[in-house]
């Protein structure tokens, strides 16, 4: 199965016992544990060469082939030219060879992408295999950016980041993908929205294709609304400041909401909106913040944590067959 995806099985060094950290990559090296992170980073795929050490989202990958801890466990190595296409393949390879997998930062190379890009792999939610395309949890990263930034991606895969519209397009074009959105409010309540179909179109407008909602957070993309509704976001183009592609003739919704998103008009959601820490001052006068209206039925409520992630729709079948 691994050889089918170009993975050299002989390059793996199977460990005698489960390590604390597992590292995969062309230049193995352990990531320093992050301080104050919501999720500990346990794994990293590191590209070779100084120029390649900067990840595709603009952040720097840690690790230079030398462990920061002398007692660190041995690495599991992958061949120099072989990369996984997404976090689902990471999951399958680890479970097949080691019997377990952990969440963390990896480098993947989807089809039609020349260089590896750094992503966070969620290997715990609903069986794992999720490639995270957006993550926010402390407001440390500014999301009110122009279209070029949203196309290329920004942030660091070990923290808050946006993977980039071009990368998301190539990722979701290589297979049929589903979308899982995990949301948390300031009271610690966690809900999710799941869509059985999800893809982002090619450059220019990066049109959203999404449908098949299920979950507890409500349908923030408004796929249950009439197709003529401004809140129906399936088929919407991506808009940012100075790049107004919404259907409203009155104003730029991206300017009003304060972040890049798929808009027709005033939407039920914008997970890239401004991050409000002053939760006691929530009001429509401050803007809409990190919005998923159905979570609280309140347009002025700005969420604390968001995580958008994708996985092949046949992942569960692959897992069962494997």
Token pair listed for 293: 């209206």
Query: Does residue 196 carry a pLDDT above 90?
Result: yes
**Which of the two residues, 82 and 198, has the higher pLDDT score?**
198
Provide the percentage of residues in the chain whose pLDDT is more than 90: 57
Query: Does residue 162 carry a pLDDT above 60?
Result: yes
Q: What angle is formed at CA 113 by the lines to CA 112 and CA 116, rounded to 5 degrees?
A: 150
Q: What is the pTM of this model?
A: 0.76
Q: Give the C-alpha separation, 48 to 27, whole Å.
A: 5
Query: Does residue 82 carry a pLDDT above 80?
Result: no
Provide the mean pLDDT of the chain.
78
Backbone torsions φ then ψ of 169, nearest 5 degrees:
-60, -50
- The answer to whether 256 and 248 have CB atoms below 8 angstroms apart is no
Nearest to 272 by CA among 130, 135, 165, 132: 135
Provide the percentage of residues in the chain whose pLDDT is more than 70: 71
Q: How is residue 313 annotated by DSSP?
A: T
Burial bucket for residue 221 (CB in 10 Å: 0-12, 13-18, 19+) = buried
Total count of domains within the chain: 1
Q: Which long-range contacts (CB under 8 A, 24 or more apart) does 282-291 make?
A: 287/256, 287/257, 287/258, 288/256, 288/257, 288/258, 289/258, 290/136, 291/220, 291/257, 291/267
**Which of the two residues, 311 and 57, has the higher pLDDT score?**
311
- The answer to whether 53 and 283 have CB atoms below 8 angstroms apart is no
For the stretch 162-196, what's the b/e string if a residue is b when 16 or more beta carbons lie within 10 angstroms of its beta carbon? bbbbbbbbbbbeebebbbbbbbbbeeeeebbbbbe
- What does the longest C-alpha to C-alpha distance in the chain come to? 64
How far does the chain reach from its first CA to its final CA, in angstroms? 9
**Residue 254: its pLDDT value, please?**
79
**Residue 64: its pLDDT value, please?**
29
Sign of CA dihedral 68, 59, 131, 38: positive
What's the pLDDT tens digit per position in 219-228?
Answer: 999 999 999 9
**Residue 238: its pLDDT value, please?**
96
Nearest to 322 by CA among 1, 77, 104: 1
Q: What angle is formed at CA 222 by the lines to CA 254 and CA 125, rounded to 5 degrees?
A: 95
Find the CATH number of the domain harbouring 292.
Answer: 3.90.215.10
- The answer to whether 204 and 216 have CB atoms below 8 angstroms apart is no
- Which residues are within 8 A (CB) of 196 and not within 5 positions of it... i.e. 6 or more apart? 178, 211, 212, 214, 313
Burial bucket for residue 313 (CB in 10 Å: 0-12, 13-18, 19+) = middle
Token pair listed for 95: 């479970």
Helix ranges (DSSP H) in 204-290: 253-257
Residue 279 confidence class, pLDDT cut points 50, 70, 90: low
- The answer to whether 181 and 291 have CB atoms below 8 angstroms apart is no
> Which residues span the domain enclosing 248?
3-321
Residue 50 burial (CB count, 10 A): 8
**Residue 83: its pLDDT value, please?**
83
């Amino acid at each position: 199965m691994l050889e089918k995806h170009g993975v050299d099985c002989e390059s793996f060094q199977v460990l005698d016992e489960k390590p604390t950290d597992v590292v995969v990559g062309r230049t193995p090296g352990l990531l320093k544990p992050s301080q104050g992170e919501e999720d500990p980073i346990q794994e990293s795929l590191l590209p070779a060469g100084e120029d390649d050490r900067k990840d595709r989202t603009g952040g720097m990958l840690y690790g230079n082939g030398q462990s920061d801890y002398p007692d660190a466990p041995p690495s599991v190595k992958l061949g120099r030219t072989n990369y996984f296409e997404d976090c689902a393949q990471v999951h399958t390879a680890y479970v097949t060879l080691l019997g377990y997998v952990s969440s963390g930062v990896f480098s993947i190379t989807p089809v039609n992408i020349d260089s590896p890009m750094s992503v966070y792999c969620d290997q715990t939610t609903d069986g794992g295999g999720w490639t995270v395309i957006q993550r926010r949890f402390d407001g440390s990263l500014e999301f009110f950016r122009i279209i070029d930034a949203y196309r290329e991606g920004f942030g660091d895969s070990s923290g808050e980041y946006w993977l980039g519209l071009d990368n998301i397009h190539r990722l979701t074009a290589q297979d049929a993908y589903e979308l899982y959105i995990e949301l948390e409010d300031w009271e610690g309540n966690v809900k999710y929205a799941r869509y059985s179909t999800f893809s982002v179109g090619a450059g220019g407008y990066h049109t959203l294709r999404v449908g098949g909602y299920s979950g507890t957070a409500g349908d923030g993309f408004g796929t249950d609304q009439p197709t003529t509704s401004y809140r129906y976001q399936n088929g919407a183009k991506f808009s940012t400041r100075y790049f107004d592609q919404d259907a409203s003739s009155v104003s730029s919704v991206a300017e009003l909401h304060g972040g890049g998103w798929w808009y027709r008009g005033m939407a039920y959601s914008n997970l890239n909106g401004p991050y409000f820490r002053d939760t006691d001052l929530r009001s429509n006068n401050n803007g809409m913040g990190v919005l998923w209206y159905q979570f609280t039925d309140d347009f002025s409520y700005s969420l604390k944590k968001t995580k958008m992630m994708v996985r092949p729709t046949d992942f569960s079948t692959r897992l069962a067959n494997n």
